């Protein structure tokens, strides 16, 4: 294999691909490279007019993708990668950069422009090398390059163009075509690296990788430094001392220890002659998964105890002061606070010769209960409702059913009836969880598409109205009706935003399966469809199709599954709750909408909890 000369030098290193592209994953997997996939959250919104050449735009985008993952992983994934690979592919013709089409008309525009012409395919690649330094810093060295391949299209007839567009293949491909599949029938010739057109210039990449590891002193790389928390898992594991019979744990030299980068530190053992010992890189991923619940529970416990609410001032509080306010033992409180520091949620500061703790900017924004973008309500919901369900996951898999009765001691016939028709406290707790998610995701969902053509909207199951208010902020000419169960509407006044003109948002009580739906130009289904069975989903969409006139819009906001069900996905994990509903990919949602006469689908993948899909009634 081409990579064999450098493969041995990557042993024990954490290599990460900052892309969810199944084509790049397949190319790199086929040559034996061992790596993890962590899709980048970098929004590809760079101004193309600032770049003189198309390849400069592709290289800069690839660099930003890779750096975003490299800097996020020590905090979100609790490990520092050794190498992060970023890539971005663009098609350029007549000086114009063509990326992925937003809809079928956009795909037609692109392919028509390419018809009968030679164009260039550029892939920018960035290799980020991460090296931990002293003083809790990480140095990032960036090696970047690009590859150009010339491609000539045949003269395409209207029939062939639309046949290809209706196949759905153009929608996630740069330039609107995939040369490795049906798009190959459009191509007359290729001059250069074929795999570059598929999405990754393997030959060029291998040469650069060889140069890096065979003659490292000769590589010219940019260096960027960033702070990083040390000994994360060690501190999180310390919490177990507080819960296991109050006993402290003696260190055992024969047990591998976690380093600050989340990898295993090889124990100092004498192996029997001829016996193979484990590779450090082969176990660290498993250890991360084994210990992941400890990080989650640390966050849950701190939120439940309102720790982040206490640490909003710049001076912070000492462990003794926090322990006094949450009525807890000082030693166990200090261990929790240190674990939160290791997770990047708190900082240690020195104030009047006392070590104090205060929130990081991230915690201040998302974890303080009074913050505008607080996730506190949803975190408490995860602790009280989701966590108990997942402790019975093995039974859920064996039985193929929700474990609500086993976790809470009663049957669940209807999640929403159960949540909304019990005590006032339970109703408010559930609504607060939904409210916090809507506040965080609403802005991105509301601004995902140009909705200027619509004047009235109806947010079905809109709960507290948080999503509706974000839509009116993004589209001042839009009025929104929140349509939800009577018990929800009764409590919605608890969540009215301050300093917000409420004239654009109204609330109407009803059941969207039974009652007449309000008339609107646009209907919003945010985190609704995944909760219901196929029968109920089709029933709701049939009702919407019947009430919608041609030109009406339907906007669906959900977590979209990776098309191949192989990449990292919150939706795949969420599906393990084994509810009657299910998660779907963007393609599956598009086909579902088409079945009910909603077409002209546009898809937007966001970097937060929810993706978005907009379709129009035929």
Cα separation, 401 vs 416, in Å, equals: 18
H-assigned helices in 327-462: 330-342, 361-366, 376-381, 387-390, 393-399, 404-408, 415-420, 424-446
Distance CA 162, CA 165 (A): 5
Q: What are phi and psi of 321, to 5 degrees?
A: -65, -40
- Long-range contacts (CB closer than 8 Å, 24 or more residues apart) made by 356-364: 356/315, 356/316, 356/317, 356/318, 357/311, 357/316, 357/317, 357/318, 357/319, 357/322, 358/311, 358/312, 358/313, 358/314, 358/315, 358/316, 358/317, 359/308, 359/311, 359/312, 363/308, 363/311, 364/308, 364/312
Strand (E) or helix (H) holding 258: strand 257-258
Identify whether 515 is a catalytic site residue. Answer: no
Beta bridge partners of 479: 456
The residue whose two tokens read 């003659």 is 215
Separation CA 123–CA 140 (nearest Å): 22
Dig out the tokens for 510 from the structure. Answer: 């009803």
Contact 175, 113 (CB under 8 A): no
Residue 54, SS3 per DSSP = helix
Residue of 82, 88, 172, 611 marked active site: 88
Within 10 Å of residue 360's Cβ, how many Cβ atoms?
19
Measuring CA to CA, which residue among 356, 310, 308, 361 is closest to residue 334? 356
- How does strand 456-460 pair with strand 522-526? parallel
| Helix, strand, or coil (residue 144) | strand
Instruction: Quote the CA–CA distance of 585 and 589 in Å, as a whole number.
Output: 6
Q: Looking at the chain, how many residues does it have?
A: 618
**Cα-based distances in Å from 458 to 205, 480, 538, 574:** 50, 5, 19, 27
The vertex-177 CA angle with 94 and 114, nearest 5°, equals 25
Active-site residues, by number, are 88
């Amino acid at each position: 294999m081409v990579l064999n000369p450098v493969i041995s030098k990557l042993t024990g290193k954490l290599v990460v691909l900052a892309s969810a592209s199944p084509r790049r994953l397949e190319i790199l997997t086929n040559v034996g490279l061992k790596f993890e996939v962590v899709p980048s959250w970098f929004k590809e919104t760079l101004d193309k007019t600032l770049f003189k050449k198309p390849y400069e735009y592709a290289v800069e985008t690839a660099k930003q993708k890779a750096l975003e993952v490299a800097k996020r992983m020590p905090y979100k994934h609790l490990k520092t990668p050794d190498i992060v690979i970023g890539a971005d592919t663009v098609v350029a013709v007549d000086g114009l950069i063509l990326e992925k089409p937003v809809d079928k008309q956009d795909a037609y525009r692109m392919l028509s422009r390419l018809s009968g012409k030679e164009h260039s395919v550029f892939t920018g690649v960035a290799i980020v090398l991460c090296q931990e330094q002293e003083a809790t810093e990480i140095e990032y060295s960036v090696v970047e390059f690009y590859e150009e391949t010339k491609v000539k299209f045949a003269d395409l007839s209207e029939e062939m163009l639309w046949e290809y567009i209706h196949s759905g293949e153009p929608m996630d491909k740069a330039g609107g075509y995939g040369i490795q599949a049906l798009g190959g029938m459009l191509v007359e010739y290729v001059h250069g690296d074929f795999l570059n057109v598929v999405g990754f210039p393997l030959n060029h990449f291998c040469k650069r990788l060889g140069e890096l590891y065979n003659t490292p002193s000769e590589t010219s790389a940019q260096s960027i430094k960033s702070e990083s928390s040390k000994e994360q898992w060690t501190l999180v594991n310390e919490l177990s001392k507080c819960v296991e019979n109050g006993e402290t744990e003696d260190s055992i030299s024969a047990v591998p220890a976690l380093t600050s980068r989340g990898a295993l530190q090889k124990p100092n053992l004498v192996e029997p002659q001829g016996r193979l010992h484990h590779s450090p890189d082969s176990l660290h991923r498993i250890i991360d998964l084994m210990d992941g619940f400890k990080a989650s529970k640390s966050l849950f416990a701190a939120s439940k105890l309102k720790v982040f609410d206490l640490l909003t001032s710049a001076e912070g509080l000492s462990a003794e002061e926090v322990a006094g306010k949450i009525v807890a033992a000082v030693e166990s409180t200090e261990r929790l606070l240190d674990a939160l520091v290791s997770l990047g949620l708190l900082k240690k500061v020195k104030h009047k010769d006392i070590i104090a703790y205060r929130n990081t900017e991230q915690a201040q924004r998302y974890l303080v209960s009074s913050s505008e973008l607080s996730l506190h309500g949803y975190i408490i919901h995860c602790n009280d409702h989701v966590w108990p369900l997942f402790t019975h996951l093995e039974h859920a898999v064996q039985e193929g059913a929700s474990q609500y009765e086993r976790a809470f001691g009663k049957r669940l016939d209807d999640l929403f009836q159960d949540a909304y028709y019990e005590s006032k406290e339970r109703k408010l707790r559930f609504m607060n969880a939904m409210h916090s998610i809507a506040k965080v995701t609403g802005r991105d969902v509301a601004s995902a598409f140009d909705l200027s053509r619509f004047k009235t909207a109806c947010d079905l199951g809109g709960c507290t109205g948080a999503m509706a208010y974000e839509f009116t902020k993004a589209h001042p000419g839009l009025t929104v009706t929140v349509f939800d169960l009577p018990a929800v509407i009764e409590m919605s006044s608890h969540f009215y935003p301050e300093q917000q003109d409420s004239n654009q948002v109204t609330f109407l009580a009803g059941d969207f399966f039974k009652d007449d739906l309000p008339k609107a130009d646009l209907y919003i289904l945010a985190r609704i469809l995944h909760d219901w069975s196929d029968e109920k989903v089709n029933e709701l969409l049939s009702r919407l199709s019947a009430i919608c006139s041609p030109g009406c819009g339907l906007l669906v906001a959900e977590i979209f599954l990776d098309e191949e069900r192989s990449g990292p996905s919150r939706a795949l994990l969420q599906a393990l709750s084994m509810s009657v509903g299910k998660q779907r990919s963007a393609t599956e949602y598009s086909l579902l909408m088409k079945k009910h006469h909603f077409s002209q689908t546009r898809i937007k993948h966001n970097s937060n909890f929810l993706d978005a899909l907009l379709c129009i009634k035929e």
